[in-house]
């Protein structure tokens, strides 16, 4: 029996979308847990990423930043080599790059026939292929080691479609399906040391969704009222409320857990009336 199933000391944790709202919170947290954290973000976020790396190091942690695009396999392969050169291995991959685009939605005054198919394709590309491609690159190291944990970012719209967000729902339900598929595939071909799970965060107020969820005076939009009316907790979540679940999924505490999606949402998904 281990004495600490949650130990992340020395683990190499790779995070895509590391400069995003959730990514930043995640990399800073893993930095406090003894992990060696790799921040992956696009080149235009370099300054922000280097600032986060400096903060993690100042607090006694270990981190590095590498620029890449999650849609570009060659850039990810270059990152994999740099990670292996610096830290020697890869233990955990969090696929936190993703998001929505206004053009891939159907607002109340439009119909599905107004939908911008190219925008939907971009949202599916980013969320689905932006998860698949980094996994194919970084899980190669896990397959060689016969050990690793992959965590994908799903959503409430992975389970049931939400109004408006047509492209995002299609993408995130596909990410959930891919997560479950890959869990089986990796275990069958590479053994029970490699695990693939998802996290489905509830609604977190961020810069990206602020105009959809709050009015300029800070009051809630009708959509927010509906969301909170359907959330037993009656509030939005904070980014740091995901951290305990992510820590569990990343560590040996969840050694027999694969193909699952952890819902962290104040009760939204399970609630009826």
Ligand X SMILES: NC(=O)c1ccc[n+]([C@@H]2O[C@H](COP(=O)([O-])OP(=O)(O)OC[C@H]3O[C@@H](n4cnc5c(N)ncnc54)[C@H](O)[C@@H]3O)[C@@H](O)[C@H]2O)c1
DSSP bridge partners of 262: 199
Least gap, CB of 32 to ligand X (angstroms): 19
Using alpha carbons only, what angle is made at residue 205 by residues 202 and 208, rounded to the nearest 5 degrees? Answer: 105
Least gap, CB of 58 to ligand X (angstroms): 22
Residue 21 or 132: the one with the smaller Cβ distance to ligand X is: 21
Least gap, CB of 155 to ligand X (angstroms): 4
Strand order in the sheet with 194-201: 62-67, 36-41, 12-16, 92-95, 148-153, 194-201, 261-264
Closest residue by Cα to residue 108 from 164, 176, 24: 164
Residue 101 or 187: the one with the smaller Cβ distance to ligand X is: 101
Sign for the CA dihedral angle at 238, 240, 246, 252 comes to negative
Active site residue 87: no
Where do contacts with ligand X occur on this chain (CB under 6 A)?
17, 19-23, 41-42, 69-71, 96-99, 126-127, 130, 153, 155, 201, 203-204, 206, 208
Contact 103/116 with Cβ under 8 angstroms?
yes
Q: Choosing from 87, 168, 181, 248, which is the catalytic residue?
A: 168
Residue 116 or 252: the one with the smaller Cβ distance to ligand X is: 116
Q: Which residues are catalytic?
A: 168
């Amino acid at each position: 029996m281990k004495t600490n199933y949650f130990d992340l000391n020395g683990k190499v944790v790779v995070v895509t979308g590391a400069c995003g709202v959730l990514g930043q919170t995640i990399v800073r947290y893993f930095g406090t847990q003894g992990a060696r954290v790799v921040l992956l973000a696009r080149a235009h976020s370099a300054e922000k990423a280097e600032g986060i790396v400096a903060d993690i190091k100042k607090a006694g942690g270990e981190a590095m930043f590498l620029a890449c695009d999650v849609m570009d396999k060659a850039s990810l392969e270059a990152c994999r080599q740099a990670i292996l050169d610096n830290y020697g291995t890869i233990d955990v991959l969090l696929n936190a790059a993703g998001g929505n685009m206004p053009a891939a939605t159907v607002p109340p005054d439009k119909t599905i026939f107004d939908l911008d198919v190219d925008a939907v394709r971009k949202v599916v590309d980013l969320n689905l292929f932006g998860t698949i491609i980094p996994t194919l690159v970084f899980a190669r190291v896990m397959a060689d080691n016969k050990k690793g944990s992959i965590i994908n970012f799903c959503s409430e719209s992975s389970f049931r479609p939400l109004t408006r967000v047509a492209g995002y729902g299609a993408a995130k339900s596909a990410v959930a399906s891919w997560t479950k598929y890959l869990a089986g595939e990796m275990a069958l071909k590479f053994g029970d040391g490699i695990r693939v799970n998802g996290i489905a965060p509830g609604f977190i107020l961020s810069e990206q969704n602020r105009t959809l969820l709050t009015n300029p005076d800070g009051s809630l939009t009708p959509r927010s009222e509906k969301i909170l009316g359907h959330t037993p907790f009656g509030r939005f979540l904070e980014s740091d409320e995901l951290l305990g679940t992510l820590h569990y999924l990343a560590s040996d505490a969840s050694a027999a857990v694969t193909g699952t999606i952890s819902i962290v949402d104040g009760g939204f998904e399970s609630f009826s009336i």
